[in-house]
Structure 1
Amino acid sequence: MNPVTQDEADRVLRQKARKYESHACYPCRKRKVKCDGSQPCRTCIRREHPGICSFQTQTPRRERGRGPSTPLSVRTPASASARVTRQGHTNPIGNAAGDWRIADAGVSSGADNSEPRPDDASKDYVYSGDNSVVSILRLRGLNANDSVAREVGSVLGLQNTFSSYPFMDSKTPGERWRSLLGVLPQRAEVLKFFHYYRITAYPFNPILADMDRFELDLCTYLNAHAGGDLRNPECISERWATDKSVGHISLLLATLAAGAHYSDIEYPQRLELSTDFARRSFHALRLANFLFRPSLDIIQALLVLGNTLQNMGQSDAAWALLGTTVRLAQTMGLHTERGSAHWPEYVRSKAKALWSTIVWQDSLLCLCYDRAPIVSVSGWPSGPSFFERTNLSYADTMHYLCRLGLIIMCPQGYGVTEADRAIETLQNMDALHQRGQPHLLDRGNCATMQQHLEHLALKMHTSFCVSVICRPAMKQSQTQLPHMEILRSRAKGSLIDASRAFLDFEALSVVPLRSWSMVHTVLSSTLLLCIWEETRSDPECRDLQQRVIDVFSSSDSRSDDRTVLNETDGQWLSERHIRALVTLRSALDREEDRGVVDSEQLDTRLGAVPPFNAGDLDGDFDLSNPFDISPVTYLDSIMNVPIFDMTQEYGFP
């Protein structure tokens, strides 16, 4: 017999080493407490973390420490699942608590699992800065898979522990499943309204980071729905009941809400459907525990819902929701390259694209409201070719434009005058525009309908940004400062271009009349054309003013979409926009010596808007008053009427 080498003997011994299944779950063994062996055990249920109740297959003690730690394997026998359902314990449907952070980053809800999944260490990741205790401990050499490093965030109170959304009634898996079935989009709804989102809304606001993957998952959902996987309230589908899948369903519902808003049905039904889809989407977000377990699908759903709220005229609510969305995205580390370094490459690219979309949303809202942004692009350093790229698409140009928007909203540096900063920003915008695709540079290069629409949409956004940059030149007190003639000329051109682009866009598509940012742009531009001494007597400007007013005050409500201010559509725009339009109509009538418009009668016709109290600017404000009020101040007084009654803060009604 040939002598056996030591390596061969060790190999045989390792194969024969007896493995055993622990009689206590991992949390109970970790805390050295009694475990009844059920799954989830009563101790984990009592401690309110049934989702992490799992049983680890261990090797003998002498083998520990030799190589990577053995991953947890969750024991899920049919009898245990049935026992949990019968007893009504709070066991979240789907995976353990560790399966929430980026589980849907590469594999979206219920689709095939052929793509690689993030490793287990990434699932519990919560972004922390370099100076946090968590980062310091990891930098000290602790392995990311080590239990101390993994749980230190929870120990320090820096990580959420609720495995299900605590502010709703669904407690058991069965209740949660039945609640989900109650909001699922039906096949007819998906086929009708997703088309509107894909064709009309998405091209001009591409919030979804991977549309191709989303459409693939949408096909999977429709097949599952047709196959009966999403119909039986008594049979929980393990594939579709996970937080990951529920988060994807909330995103699907959010796209349907946006699609319904851009559909061709009558306004009252359109508003009702869009609101209903948004309500169902938000309910699905709660079922997915969005506030405690964010994911990429959840972030995208919140962005689509916020944009839909804007387009309904509820921009203040959209602003508040965006703040929550940004914080959840920062929790995941989307705002910085280092925060996503532990993810696979395809997930990192998706995270970067999603953060750029968040910057897009925040920048436009900040420019409209003149509020400080809460996002930053410093966490994703630009490559050397960032400002050298050419032939930029509409979406790429908009991303860069919104980055410039953040610069516009930042305080100016020490020693830099407002005019000098405006000139520099205008130069950057002009350079950006020259790097766009040919159809974005000149409408004469447009060969398709979509290219015409993209050209006009970019023209509106660019003109709005230019008008914001040049607004200091509209103030009478600064007309003699350097560069003011250049800025005044650019300001006038931007206001005219915005109005023209809106009118051309509106003739081709419903997008400008359904998009809050575009409505805000054209009304702001038209108001400034009306009240600025540089333009209010210009025949071309007055013609543009009248044409814009005609679009919004058309009385042909049944056959044309240009009836957003008739009796049925009066509340589509916010009350501030309606007040602005009332003021504009009154100012034009006064200029033409046709008398002052009866504001109460006009309010009744435009949707019974409450009377405007800030000096009744729509009725008796004199455009030629001796105090020469700044047009910007005048515009802000119209568009930014306080909606919060602070006089009621003291005392209980």
Structure 2
Amino acid sequence: MANNIDRREIDRVLESRRKQREAKACYPCRQRKVKCDHANPCRTCRRRNHPEICAYDVEPPAHRTVQHARQQTNASSSNSATTTAQPTQAPSQPPAFALDPQSRLERDNSREGAGSTYIYSGDNSVVSILRNRTHDNGSMAQEVGSVLGLQNTYNSYPFMDLKTAEDRWNELLRITPQRTEVLRFFQFYRQSSHPFNPILVDVERFELDICTYLNAYAAGEFRNASSISERWLTDGPVGLISLILATLSSGAHYSDLEHLQRSEICQDLARRSFQALRLSNFLFRPSLNTIQTLLILGTSLRDNGQSDASWALLGTTVRLAQTLGLHTEKSIAHLPDNVQSKARRLWSSVVWQDSLLSLSYDRVPIVSTKGWSLDSTIFSRCDLSYTEVMHYLCRLGIEITTNEDRETQEITHWLGMLYSLDDIYQRAQPHLRSRDNCKSLQQNLEHLALKMHISFGISILTRPALKQCQVRDPPYDILRIRAKGSLLDASKAFLDFQALSVVPLRSWSMVHTVLSSTLLLCIWEETRNDVESRDLQQRVIEVFSAAGSVGTMRNSASENGQWLSERHIRALITLRNAVRSVVDQTREDGNPSENHLPSETAFPMFELPPGLPEDLNQIGASPISYLDSIMNNP
């Protein structure tokens, strides 16, 4: 009877059985020839920490396309010739935009093994040795890492009580950004925050991701709590939503809302962003979006006066970045060149944040710049951008704060670093060097922002002269002259900047720069009685008074009333009291033409912090010590 069966029917049955057998396992399990439980994602892919690549309908390689098409044709002919065979159902293809929510940077990393599945280990670790000696795409290294306890195993954030996918989806719907929030606050982030603190490594691509999100939102994908959108519930897209919320929080801080409303919205968006981070399991499955989100949230904390919390959060951010291997060129050498350049920029952003906080607090930084070589072209080019000059300045800041012998360094060391910074600044784009070359508002703002940061850097490099006020050697004289110029330039740049933008009054680093600079002008004996210095001090006080810092000082104990940090409030109070004392003394001496400070009702008197001298004549030899006592004594 078997002889009567048509040969084509035999081929058709064998082919259909073969297809059924292949379709039972996902593509990663078929490639590894391991057991698959046919779930989506399957248990094996979840255990190996790559559920995002668990796929069943994967296109065959190009060299098999022709053969596959011929087999499909034969099977189709056989289906039309017999009534017993069931029709073959074509696999449904996902829409072309299905991967859009996960940014291109994330996808590149995932393909190259440095996304959520890649855990950095040093060359001498067992995991790295196995990874380098085996050729199974690191699966054995992952297994050994898990056995040795060197790899996380939780697929969801363990500190949340969300047991099902439905619970996770409902929580995501609760925190997703509304269309009105995106349209209102992202523009403020793009215009006022990102240009002066460029944390996003691919802002153009991020804008496309926002467009994808808004299209999905308009299509109703986030409307139904009972209908889960699989493409938005995986860790990558949830991480993108967290990053969007973080940028909106930063944008709200720079918006045109009143202070109290602005503060409430900023904190609400930040809380939702951090909740989305939990949903993406950021602590156990860090990604590049995770690092960018945490950096922006840390900056928002800092700009709202919570610099200590920002410092603590930065420590976690750095550790997660090291988990991905972002801290060295060697650890991401297996990635494409364009991804490596983005990784460099992201680690440079981490260095940027750590440098500003470490210099301001005079604390040892947690980051290192040794893993990435300095781009040598900056010493030969004459078109350095604002960001490039800032990256060099921040590397210099890390070098200063990590130098344990800086108190005993020769004066020539500080002069050398100062000349190096001068050289880089002279290689900047023309509008950055001179305001006369600015041809647009943005160029003016970049010039003034860089002027403030450069002045702060110079004031740090010249502090040995301020600490040794009695030494009158020529090298110290050079540093003293540069110190005075930097303090004056920082105050002038701030006053010019705030006339054009809200950025300097909302940026923690710029507030710190102007307050520390004007306070040093006030207490340093070489500038204390200088007419220009006194005029700048009074103008700075008036700016903070008009901007609402009075309300901040009155409500400094309030949980949500914090605009300036406690340290900056103490600096502003001390500066105001000191200048008022000088002005009152001048009036008593018969000089009524002295500039007038805001009235007592507009700027109420506050007592100096305990333990500080009430009279400036009691200041010791080092104004730096006095400044540190104001900033750091509780």
Q: Which residue of 2 aligns with 1:591?
A: 582
Matched residues, number: 564
Q: Which residue of 1 aligns with 2:610?
A: 614
Q: 1:607 to 1:195 in 2, by over 3 A?
A: farther
Q: Which residue of 2 aligns with 1:82?
A: none
2:388 is the counterpart of 1:392:
no
2:575 alignment partner, SS class: helix
- Equivalent residue for 2:493, pick from 501, 516, 527: 501
Q: Which residue of 1 aligns with 2:129?
A: 136
- Quote the Cα distance in structure 1 between the aligned partners of 2:506 and 2:121: 40
Q: 1:593 to 1:563 in 2, by over 3 A?
A: closer
Aligned pairs for 1:537-576 (under 5 A) are: 537-554=529-546, 565=552, 571-576=562-567
- Quote the Cα distance in structure 2 between the aligned partners of 1:112 and 1:355: 18
Report the CA distance between 1:163 and its aligned residue: 0.6
Q: 1:564 to 1:261 in 2, by over 3 A?
A: farther
Report the CA distance between 1:368 and its aligned residue: 0.7
Query: Contact 2:40–2:54 at 8 Å: present in 1 too?
Result: yes
- Equivalent residue for 1:267, pick from 249, 259, 273: 259
Q: 1:472 to 1:143 in 2, by over 3 A?
A: same
2:620 alignment partner, SS class: coil
- Equivalent residue for 2:510, pick from 514, 518, 531: 518
Query: Contact 1:464–1:521 at 8 Å: present in 2 too?
Result: yes
- Quote the Cα distance in structure 1 between the aligned partners of 2:335 and 2:48: 29
- Quote the Cα distance in structure 2 between the aligned partners of 1:308 and 1:108: 27
2:181 is the counterpart of 1:189:
yes
Report the CA distance between 1:590 and its aligned residue: 2.4
Q: Tell me the TM-score normalized by structure 1.
A: 0.78
- Quote the Cα distance in structure 1 between the aligned partners of 2:213 and 2:329: 32
2:297 is the counterpart of 1:305:
yes
Aligned pairs for 1:90-239 (under 5 A) are: 109-110=101-102, 118-119=110-111, 121-123=113-115, 124-139=117-132, 141-145=133-137, 147-239=139-231
Query: Contact 2:552–2:563 at 8 Å: present in 1 too?
Result: yes
The residue type equivalent to 2:228 in the other structure is I
The residue type equivalent to 2:617 in the other structure is S
Report the CA distance between 1:408 and its aligned residue: 2.1
- Quote the Cα distance in structure 2 between the aligned partners of 1:15 and 1:410: 67
The residue type equivalent to 1:624 in the other structure is N
Q: 1:608 to 1:422 in 2, by over 3 A?
A: same
Q: 1:145 to 1:438 in 2, by over 3 A?
A: same
- Quote the Cα distance in structure 2 between the aligned partners of 1:476 and 1:380: 35
- Equivalent residue for 2:270, pick from 260, 274, 278: 278
- Quote the Cα distance in structure 2 between the aligned partners of 1:641 and 1:182: 42
Decide which structure has greater helix share.
2
Q: 1:53 to 1:196 in 2, by over 3 A?
A: closer
Q: Which residue of 2 aligns with 1:93?
A: none
Query: Contact 2:185–2:248 at 8 Å: present in 1 too?
Result: yes
Gaps of 5+ in 2: 1-13, 58-97, 588-598
- Quote the Cα distance in structure 2 between the aligned partners of 1:460 and 1:144: 52
- Quote the Cα distance in structure 1 between the aligned partners of 2:473 and 2:327: 39
Query: Contact 1:48–1:162 at 8 Å: present in 2 too?
Result: no
Query: Contact 1:552–1:564 at 8 Å: present in 2 too?
Result: no
Q: Which residue of 1 aligns with 2:77?
A: none
Q: 1:458 to 1:471 in 2, by over 3 A?
A: same
- Quote the Cα distance in structure 2 between the aligned partners of 1:438 and 1:45: 54
Aligned pairs for 1:317-332 (under 5 A) are: 317-332=309-324
Describe the superposition over 1:385-440 as per-residue Cα deviations: whole angstroms up to 9, x where unpaired: 24222211111111111112122223166997341111011101100111101011
The residue type equivalent to 1:640 in the other structure is N
Report the CA distance between 1:622 and its aligned residue: 2.9
Query: Contact 1:267–1:568 at 8 Å: present in 2 too?
Result: no
Report the CA distance between 1:591 and its aligned residue: 2.6
Report the CA distance between 1:107 and its aligned residue: 6.4
1:240 alignment partner, SS class: helix
Q: Which residue of 2 aligns with 1:630?
A: 622
- Quote the Cα distance in structure 2 between the aligned partners of 1:40 and 1:641: 57
Report the CA distance between 1:457 and its aligned residue: 0.4
Q: 1:409 to 1:112 in 2, by over 3 A?
A: closer
- Quote the Cα distance in structure 1 between the aligned partners of 2:17 and 2:38: 26
Q: Which residue of 1 aligns with 2:66?
A: none
- Quote the Cα distance in structure 2 between the aligned partners of 1:18 and 1:463: 72
CA RMSD of aligned residues (A): 3.8
Q: Which residue of 1 aligns with 2:570?
A: 579
Query: Contact 2:332–2:340 at 8 Å: present in 1 too?
Result: yes
1:400 alignment partner, SS class: helix
The residue type equivalent to 2:152 in the other structure is N
- Quote the Cα distance in structure 1 between the aligned partners of 2:350 and 2:109: 25
Report the CA distance between 1:480 and its aligned residue: 3.5
Identity %: 58
The residue type equivalent to 1:550 in the other structure is E
Q: 1:323 to 1:503 in 2, by over 3 A?
A: same
Query: Contact 1:24–1:37 at 8 Å: present in 2 too?
Result: yes
Q: Which residue of 1 aligns with 2:83?
A: none
Gaps of 5+ in 1: 1-13, 58-105, 555-559, 597-601, 643-653
The residue type equivalent to 2:192 in the other structure is T
2:150 alignment partner, SS class: coil
- Quote the Cα distance in structure 1 between the aligned partners of 2:36 and 2:334: 37
Aligned pairs for 1:332-351 (under 5 A) are: 332-351=324-343
Q: Which residue of 2 aligns with 1:258?
A: 250
Aligned pairs for 1:387-536 (under 5 A) are: 387-411=379-403, 417-476=409-468, 479-481=471-473, 483-536=475-528
The residue type equivalent to 2:577 in the other structure is S
- Quote the Cα distance in structure 1 between the aligned partners of 2:53 and 2:491: 61
